[in-house]
Amino acid sequence: MAEHVVATLGEIPPGGRKIAEVEGRSIGVFNLDGQFFAVLNRCPHQGGPLCLGQQSGLLQARVPGEYSYTRVGEIVRCPWHGWEFDLKTGRSWFDPVRTRVRSYRVRVEMRESEGGGCGEEAGHRPGPYRAETFPVSVRQQYVVVEIP
């Protein structure tokens, strides 16, 4: 299993999404009310860019006129032919057992990144004076996708 940092937490606010390249595949990472979910950006129907589709709710009705609209934002509709997929499971609405899009586990975790370089790479030559320096690192939260 490989882990890939795809974004900082701040990059994908609630309701937002990011499409990331991971190990050569395009994966959509979605923030649903603070929980993260990821699915392959490739529709099982004919390969459409599923994760560019409209996010909306689950529309149901027992009989005409009795609408129920729930799980707003948790359903993505493929931009090519409108098939609906559950972002939390990858299952399609109309055939949840057989028609599903690959989904991936996502975690948010605190990681450290090293501070930036001192400028030598950019072509500066060190001058004659040196100030006292301190090592700096940034601790922040990252969105991590697991590829099995």
Partner 1 sequence: MVRESGNEAQRPFWSGRPVIDCDLHNEVPSLEVLRPYLADHWCDYIEESAFRGPDADDYPKGAPTTIRPGLEWEGEVEGQLALMRRQVLDPLQVEFGVLDCAYRVQGVHDPELAGALASAINRWQAEHWLDRDPRLRASIVAPTQSPVLAAREIDRWGADARFVQAVMPVRSLIPYGNRIYDPIYEAAARHDLVVGIQFGGSPGHPPTPSGWLSTYLEEYAAMAQVFQSQVTSLIVEGVFDRFPDLRVSLIEAGCTWMPSLMWRLDKEWRGLRRDIPWVKRPPSDYIRRHIRLTLQPVDAPPSGKQLLEVIGQLDSDEMLMFATDHPHWHFDRLEEAFPAGLSDSLARRVLADNARSFYRL
**Which two structure tokens, joined as six digits, stand for 63?**
């009989």
100 binding partner 1? (CB under 8 A)? no
Question: Is residue 38 within 8 Å of 106, Cβ to Cβ?
Answer: yes
Contact with ligand FES (CB under 6 A) among 20, 43, 51, 75: 43
54 binding ligand FES? (CB under 6 A)? no
Name which of ligand FES, partner 1, none residue 61 binds, using a CB cut-off of 5 to 8 Å depending on partner kind: partner 1
Considering beta carbons, is residue 46 or 60 the nearer one to ligand FES? 46
Q: Write phi, then psi, for 52 (nearest 5 degrees).
A: -90, 0
| Alpha-carbon 116 to chain mean position | 26
> Could you tell me which of 8, 9, 6, 115 has the C-alpha nearest to residue 51?
6
Considering beta carbons, is residue 32 or 40 the nearer one to ligand FES? 40
SS3 for 50?
helix
78 binding ligand FES? (CB under 6 A)? yes
96 binding partner 1? (CB under 8 A)? no
Question: Is residue 119 within 8 Å of 58, Cβ to Cβ?
Answer: no
Task: Note the residues at the interface with partner 1 (CB under 8 A).
Answer: 59-64, 66-67, 78, 81-84, 93-94
Task: Note the residues at the interface with ligand FES (CB under 6 A).
Answer: 43, 45-48, 78, 80-81, 83
